[in-house]
């Protein structure tokens, strides 16, 4: 019987064994990017080509001698118009701020990992921006996502996008979800990485991290870590059936206890994955890879806007014990989506900043005294129009959403699961 590849690089009915070989070659020879081309009229016949990245041969990404086994990744937009959210004149300044804080509060102390800024061809950074952002940051590189990494699954018709669920979210946005849910793992495995930290271009680490996060993950046998919890009910029609069918067809894929926890202790609670650290081999190996393949082949990421947040949360909860997960709560972190519509309380004519719609700033345990936190949070609140609903809690400021429900209010639908994860209560006594 032909062995299926660990994660689909494209949507195939009959897996091509050459793709499995390609992954193995990439893992052992580093820095390989795949481009898969259809070569005949038969939709199942593919050939694979290996292209080296367009970077200097002595780059840390290509040098086996100097390369790291860990990597921080961004997927950044360098356009003033977001494909789903519209005008964003401050996109580059937000990204600069994110990078500056990442280096100031973490990477300058622990510079042993690589940093890759991914982008798609619709909004590439020009040479001036690349030079500016990489100045004095030798481990930082830029990579364009195209071909296999940034295209519709085979057989899906993009012209029907207007009939997909929540059509305001562009095809490019759905490519992003597929990238972080499915495709990033074989890409980074082929590069030789073992752990990855994701940062959004509007994610901010606001306080010092005094230890190596990647080493912490290794030393404590952690496979996945997050900073903010969330409860997401927008999984898309048909998603639960895909998961339940998989579990029925693979009864030994995981333990009964984990299935029971996932199905009965709110299967909607999960991880706000704009920041995460993950063990790449966990996502590459069975049984995770076959579940990711089933999700990918369902095309729900596109047709139902089933997000990478939902997929990460499902996979981690089904296949990792709580002691293999870490909730980092000892640094202050921000990810806040703003709504600029009048319906959010923002006057679009006068309040271009907008009002918090999702997420916020989570207080790092042990970082502030109560007085310092209240002063800091008050300054944040004052940046918004008084008509915006921005509440200050003992450990959070931001939108009144499910992140707040899980982190501040300890809603039973969240906390019954979250309290089992190491880090959930660590440090509370310091506040």
Contacts of 121 (CB under 8 A, 6+ apart): 144, 146, 150
For residue 145, which phi and psi values (nearest 5 degrees)?
-100, 125
Cis-peptide into 285, omega within 30 deg: no
Tell me: pLDDT of 119 over 70: yes
In this prediction, what percent of the chain has a pLDDT beyond 70? Answer: 78
DSSP E strand stretches across 28-163: 33-38, 46-51, 70-75, 81-82, 86-87, 114-120, 140-145
The pLDDT tens digits for 373-401 are: 999 999 999 999 888 889 899 999 999 99
Among 11-20, 135-144, 296-305, 411-420, whose mean pLDDT is lowest?
A: 11-20
Give, to the nearest 10 degrees, the angle between helix 239-249 and helix 308-319. Answer: 30
DSSP of 310-353, one letter per residue?
A: HHHHHHHHHHS-GGGEEE--SS-EEEEEEE-SGGGT--TTT-TT
Q: How far is CA 231 from CA 1, 207, 267, 346, 351, in A?
A: 41, 26, 9, 25, 29
Contacts of 74 (CB under 8 A, 6+ apart): 95, 98, 99, 115, 116, 117, 118, 198, 199, 200, 201
Superfamily for domain range 57-325: Spore Coat Polysaccharide Biosynthesis Protein SpsA; Chain A (3.90.550.10)
Q: Is 357 helix (H, G, I), strand (E, B) or coil?
A: strand
Which token pair is 151? 């295209």
**What pLDDT, on the 0 to 100 scale, is given for residue 380?**
96
In this prediction, what percent of the chain has a pLDDT beyond 90? Answer: 71
Print burial letters for 346-364: b (CB count within 10 Å at least 16), e (below 16). Answer: beeeebeebbbbbbbbbbb
Among 77-81, 139-143, 176-180, 320-324, whose mean pLDDT is lowest?
A: 77-81
Mean pLDDT for the stretch of residues 307-319: 98
Tell me: pLDDT of 28 over 70: no
**Span between the terminal Cα atoms of the chain, in Å:** 58
Confidence of residue 345 (pLDDT cuts 50, 70, 90): low
Tell me: pLDDT of 7 over 60: no
The pLDDT tens digits for 47-105 are: 222 233 433 233 344 444 567 899 999 999 887 655 544 445 678 999 999 999 999 99
Confidence of residue 338 (pLDDT cuts 50, 70, 90): confident
Q: Please give the Cα distance from 196 to 214 (Å, whole number).
A: 8
Q: Please give the Cα distance from 107 to 101 (Å, whole number).
A: 9
The pLDDT tens digits for 192-230 are: 999 999 999 999 999 999 999 999 999 999 999 999 999
Q: Identify the residue with better confidence: 370 or 7.
A: 370
Per-domain boundaries in the chain: 57-325, 333-408
Confidence of residue 349 (pLDDT cuts 50, 70, 90): low
Confidence of residue 26 (pLDDT cuts 50, 70, 90): very low
Nearest Cα to 250, choosing from 319, 200, 167, 192? 319
């Amino acid at each position: 019987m032909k062995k299926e590849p660990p994660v689909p690089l494209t949507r195939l009915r009959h897996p091509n064994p050459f793709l499995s070989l390609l992954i193995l070659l990439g893992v052992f020879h580093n820095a390989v990017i795949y481009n898969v081309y259809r070569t005949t009229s038969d939709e199942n016949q593919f050939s694979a080509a290996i292209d080296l990245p367009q970077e200097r041969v002595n780059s840390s990404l290509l040098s086996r001698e100097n390369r790291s086994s860990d990597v921080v990744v961004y997927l950044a937009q360098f356009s003033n118009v977001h494909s789903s959210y519209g005008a964003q004149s401050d996109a580059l300044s937000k990204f600069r701020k994110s990078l500056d804080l990442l280096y100031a509060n973490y990477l300058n102390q622990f510079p042993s990992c690589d940093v890759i800024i991914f982008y798609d061809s619709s909004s590439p950074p020009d040479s001036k921006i690349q030079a500016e952002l990489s100045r004095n940051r030798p481990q930082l590189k830029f990579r364009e996502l195209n071909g296999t990494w940034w295209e519709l699954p085979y057989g899906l018709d993009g012209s029907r996008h207007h009939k997909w669920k929540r059509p305001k979210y562009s095809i490019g946005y759905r490519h992003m979800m597929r990238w972080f849910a499915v495709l990033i793992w074989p890409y980074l495995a082929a590069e030789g990485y073992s752990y990855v930290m994701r940062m959004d271009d509007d994610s901010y680490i606001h306080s010092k991290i005094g230890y190596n996060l990647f080493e912490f993950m290794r030393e404590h046998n952690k496979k996945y870590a997050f900073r903010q919890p969330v409860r997401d009910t927008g999984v898309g029609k048909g998603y639960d059936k895909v998961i339940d069918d998989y579990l029925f067809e693979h009864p030994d894929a995981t333990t009964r206890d984990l299935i029971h926890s996932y199905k009965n202790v709110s299967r909607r609670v999960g991880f706000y994955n704009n920041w995460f650290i993950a063990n790449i081999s966990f996502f590459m190996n069975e049984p995770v890879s076959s579940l990711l393949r089933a999700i990918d082949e369902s095309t729900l990421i596109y047709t139902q806007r089933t997000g990478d947040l939902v997929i990460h949360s499902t996979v981690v909860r089904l296949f990792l014990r709580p002691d293999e997960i870490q909730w980092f709560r000892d640094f202050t972190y921000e990810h806040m989506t703003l709504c600029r519509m009048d319906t959010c309380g923002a006057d679009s004519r006068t309040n271009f900043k907008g009002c918090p719609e999702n997420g916020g700033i989570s207080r790092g345990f042990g970082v502030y005294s109560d007085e310092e936190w209240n002063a800091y949070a008050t300054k944040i609140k004052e940046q918004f129009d008084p008509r915006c609903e921005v509440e200050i809690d003992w450990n959070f400021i931001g939108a009144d959403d499910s992140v707040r429900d899980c982190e501040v209010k300890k809603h039973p639908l969240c906390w019954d699961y979250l309290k089992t994860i190491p880090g959930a209560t660590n440090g509370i006594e310091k506040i």
